[in-house]
Amino acid sequence: MSNFPLAIIFVLGAMLLPLLPRQARSWAYLAVVSIAFVFLINLEAGATLSFPFLNYELVVSRVDRLSLAFGYVFVIMGFLGGVFGFHVKDTLQQVVALLYVGSSLGVVFAGDLFTLLVFWEIMAVSSVFLIWARRTPQSRRAGFRYLLVHAFGGSVLMAGVIWHMVSTGSILFNHFEGGIASYLILFSFALNAAVPPLNGWLPDAYPEGTVTGSVFLSAFTTKVAVYALARGFAGLELLMWAGAIMAVYGVVFAFLANDGRRLLAYHIISQVGYMVAGVGIGTEMGVNGATAHAFAHILYKGLLFMGMGTVLYATGRSKMTELGGLFRSMWPVLILFMVGAFSISGVPLFSGFVSKSMVIYAAELEHQGAVVLLLNLASIGTFLSIGLKLPYFTWFSTDRNLKPEPVPPGMYLGMALTSAICIAIGVYPALLYNLLPFAVHYQPYTASHVIESMQLLIFTGLAFWLVMRKLHAEATITLDTDWVYRRPSRLAYRVFSVAPASLFEAVEQLSLRLARSTVRLGANPPGYLLDTIRTIGHTFFGTKKPVPEPETFSPDRYRIPLGIMVLVVLLFLIALLAWDVIT
C-alpha cells in the first residue's frame, strides 16, 4: 500500500475509541498511531492516490520526500504525545488528539487544494477542543478567540482555493506563481504559521490548553503551515525576511513573558521563523534546513512543553512569579527539560545544533548577512530564555516551598523517549539527514561551527549571569497584535497609565467606545439600532433625549406589529409593480 492516506486510520480510530472500555483507550490510542506507523514506512515516494470529483481530479495522497519527512515526525510525535498523555482519562481529549494528528497528516499528504482545505478545517476544529478541555474560564475564552481566528483563516483559504481553481483551472497543490488567489492562500498559511502580525492567537491560546493538549498543539498546526509554505511558496523572498524578523520578535516577547508556557509559545514563533526563513531562501539547502529544523523542533518543543506541563501538573502553576525552588523535588524533570533546552539553543551534540545551523548556512550561501545575524541573535535570545531564565526561575531562584504532586510514569517515559531522540539526532545527524527532501551536502560538526556556537552560548550565559541578580520575573502580560481584536471586544476598565502619548489615550478611548458598542450590538441588535437612531435624532434634530434600551434582547419588546408587516408587504408589491410600469 504505497499510497495509503494515513489520515483515514486516525479518523477510524477516533470513531472507534469512545466505544472501547475506559481502561483500554490510552492503549488503543497508541495502537492506532503504531498501525499508522506501519503504513507510513510502506509509503513510497512518487506514489499518489486520486479519484475524480466533478470536473476535477482529487489527489488524496501524494507521497514524496518532503511530505514523508513531515509525515515521519508527525507520527512519531503523535506516539510520544500519547505516551506522555497516557494518564489522561478524558475521552474528548483522546478522540480529538487522534483527529488532530490525522488531519495534520491529511494536509501533509494532500496533493490537491480541496483535500488540503478539508483537512485544514478539521485540524482547526479538533485543536480547539484541546484548549477547551481545560475547562477554565480563561481557556474557554482563549479557545473561542482561537476558533474565530482560524475560522477566519479557513474562510480566506477557501476563497483563495476557489479563486485559484477558477482562474487556473487546476486544483493541484504545487508551487504557486502569484496572483490574488495565491496571496489569499499565502495569508492563510502565514496565519497558521503565526507570522507576525498574524501571530496574536498563538501565545494567547497555547498556554491555556491542557497539560497534554498543549504538547500536541505545539507540534502540529504551525509545522503543517511550514510544510504548506515550503510546498507552495518556496523561494519567496518576503518569507526570508519575515522569518528572520519573526525569529527575533519571538525571543523579545518571550523574554518578557511570565507564564512559562507562554514563553515557550513565543519561542515557537521564533523557531518557526527559522523555518519560514529557510523556505524563503528556497534553495535546496534552505528547504532542507527548514524541514530539518521542523523535525527537530517538533521533538524538542514537545519535550519542553512536556517539561513545563509536568511542572504544571505537579504544582498547579506555570507562572515564573509563582514557581521556584523545585530542584530538590523535581530534578529529573529538570534534566529532561534541559535536554530540550540545549536542543533548542543549538548546543553541540543535541538536535538543534544540526538543524538550525543548516538554515543559517543556507543564508550564508546566499550571502544574506543580515539574515545570518538576525538568526544568530535569535539563538542568543533562545538560550537566554529557555536555557537560562526559565529553568532558573522554575527550579531555582526563590524557594516557595512548593509540594509537588507525584507525576504519572507515562509523563517521564514520554519525556525520556523524546530526549533520547533529540540526543540521537544530535550525535548522529545522518538519522535526520536521510529523511530530508534533497541530498544533504552539509557537515554540521566543523571546527569553526562548534567553536562559534560555543562562543555564542558561553558568553550569552556570562551576560545573563552578570545581570541575573537584577532580573526578577514580573506578573505582567505583554500586548501583542491580538490587541486589535481583543481590546475592542471587552468592556475595559481603568488602565494603568503607562502610555506616554495622548494619542495612545485617544485611540484607547475610541476603541473603548467601539468595544462597548459592539457588545451592546451583539446583545441586543434592535435596541442598539433604536438607540443609535434616537441619539442621532437628539444630537442633530433636537428630539427628546433617548432613554437607553435594555442590555439584552427581549422578543416582546421588539415585536413588529401585524399592521406594519402587512404595510411592508404592500410597499414591496407597489414597488415591484411600479418598476414594471416604469420600465
Partner 1 sequence: MRRWIVVFISLLVISILLDLFLVVGEGHDGFPWSHIAGFFALFGFIGCLVLMGVAKLLGHYWLEREEDYYGKNDDDE
Partner 2 sequence: MSSLSILTLAPLLLFAFITTLVGIWRLKWAYAAAVIGMLLSLIAAGAGVFRVLAEGKLRHFLGGWPPPFGIEYVLDHLSAFMALIIVFIGLIAVVYPPEAGLYQPPRKGIPMYGLLLLLFAGLVGVVVTGDLFNLFVFLEIYSLASYALITLGGDRAVVASFRYLILGTIAGSFYLLGVGFIYFSTGTLNMADAAQRLVPLYSSPVVMAAVALIVIGMCIKMALFPLHVWLPDAHSYASPMVAAVLAGIQIEVAAYVVVRFMLTIFQPHYFIDVLPVTTVIGWMAAVGIIFGSVMAIAQRDFKRMLAYSTVAQVGYIGLGIGLANPLGLIGGLLHILNHAFMKSCLFLVAGGIRYKTGLHEIPKFAGLGRKMPLMMAAFTVAALSMVGIPPTAGFFSKWYLVLGSIDAGNWVFLAVILASSLLTAVYFFRMVEKLYAVPSSGDAAVEQATEPSAGILVPILVLAVGIIILGLINALIVTQLLMPVAALLPS
Q: How far apart are CA 295 and CA 429, in angstroms?
A: 12
What residue has cell string 442633530?
Answer: 540
Nearer to partner 1, 420 or 454 (CB): 454
The reply to whether 380 sits near partner 1 by the rule CB under 8 A is: yes
Supply the DSSP symbol for 52.
E
User: Minimum CB separation from partner 2 for residue 166, in Å?
Assistant: 5
The reply to whether 567 sits near partner 1 by the rule CB under 8 A is: no
Q: Which residues bind partner 2 (CB under 8 A)?
A: 53-54, 92, 117-118, 121-122, 125, 128-129, 132-133, 135, 139-140, 143-144, 147-148, 151-152, 154-156, 158-159, 162-163, 166, 521-525, 552-553, 555, 559-560, 562, 565-566, 568-569, 572-573, 576-577, 579-581
Work out which of 20, 125, 172, 252 binds partner 1, going by CB under 8 A: 252
Supply the DSSP symbol for 546.
P
Stretches 58-66, 102-110, 121-129, 475-483: which one binds partner 1 (CB under 8 A)?
475-483
Supply the DSSP symbol for 112.
B
Nearer to partner 2, 241 or 553 (CB): 553
Nearer to partner 2, 459 or 572 (CB): 572
From the list partner 2, partner 1, none, partner contacted by residue 376 (C-beta under 5 to 8 A by kind): partner 1
Work out which of 65, 87, 487, 516 binds partner 1, going by CB under 8 A: 487
Region label for 462, one of left (φ > 0), alpha (ψ between -120 and 50) or beta (otherwise): alpha
Nearer to partner 1, 455 or 543 (CB): 455
Work out which of 155, 170, 443, 476 binds partner 1, going by CB under 8 A: 476
User: Minimum CB separation from partner 1 for residue 322, in Å?
Assistant: 12
From the list partner 2, partner 1, none, partner contacted by residue 439 (C-beta under 5 to 8 A by kind): none
CB distance 313 to 260 below 8 Å? no
Work out which of 61, 271, 351, 460 binds partner 1, going by CB under 8 A: 460
Q: How far apart are CA 152 and CA 283, in angstroms?
A: 32
Stretches 66-74, 186-194, 237-245, 251-259: which one binds partner 1 (CB under 8 A)?
251-259
The reply to whether 244 sits near partner 1 by the rule CB under 8 A is: no
Sign of CA dihedral 135, 139, 144, 150: negative
The reply to whether 503 sits near partner 1 by the rule CB under 8 A is: no
User: Minimum CB separation from partner 1 for residue 441, in Å?
Assistant: 14
Work out which of 464, 520, 524, 528 binds partner 1, going by CB under 8 A: 464
Cα 14 from chain centroid (whole Å): 22
CB distance 429 to 444 below 8 Å? yes
Q: What is the biggest distance separating any 2 CA atoms in the chain, rounded to whole angstroms?
A: 91
Angstrom CA distances, 545 to 296, 532, 533, 540, stand at: 65, 12, 11, 11
From the list partner 1, partner 2, none, partner contacted by residue 464 (C-beta under 5 to 8 A by kind): partner 1
The reply to whether 454 sits near partner 1 by the rule CB under 8 A is: yes
Cell digits of residue 449: 561551527
From the list 425, 351, 346, the residue with the least C-alpha distance to 384 is 346
From the list partner 2, partner 1, none, partner contacted by residue 186 (C-beta under 5 to 8 A by kind): none
User: Minimum CB separation from partner 1 for residue 54, in Å?
Assistant: 41
The reply to whether 538 sits near partner 1 by the rule CB under 8 A is: no
Work out which of 156, 251, 276, 407 binds partner 1, going by CB under 8 A: 251
Nearer to partner 2, 53 or 504 (CB): 53
Stretches 58-66, 248-256, 331-339, 560-568: which one binds partner 1 (CB under 8 A)?
248-256
* Amino acid, single-letter form, for residue 2: S
Q: How far apart are CA 505 and CA 491, in angstroms?
A: 16
DSSP string, 204-215: HHGGGS-HHHHH
Nearer to partner 2, 406 or 555 (CB): 555
| Burial bucket for residue 90 (CB in 10 Å: 0-12, 13-18, 19+) | middle
User: Minimum CB separation from partner 1 for residue 460, in Å?
Assistant: 4
The reply to whether 46 sits near partner 1 by the rule CB under 8 A is: no
The reply to whether 425 sits near partner 1 by the rule CB under 8 A is: no
Phi and psi at residue 199, to the nearest 5°: -100, -5
Q: Is 456 helix (H, G, I), strand (E, B) or coil?
A: helix
| Burial bucket for residue 64 (CB in 10 Å: 0-12, 13-18, 19+) | middle
Supply the DSSP symbol for 405.
P
From the list 173, 156, 95, the residue with the least C-alpha distance to 127 is 95
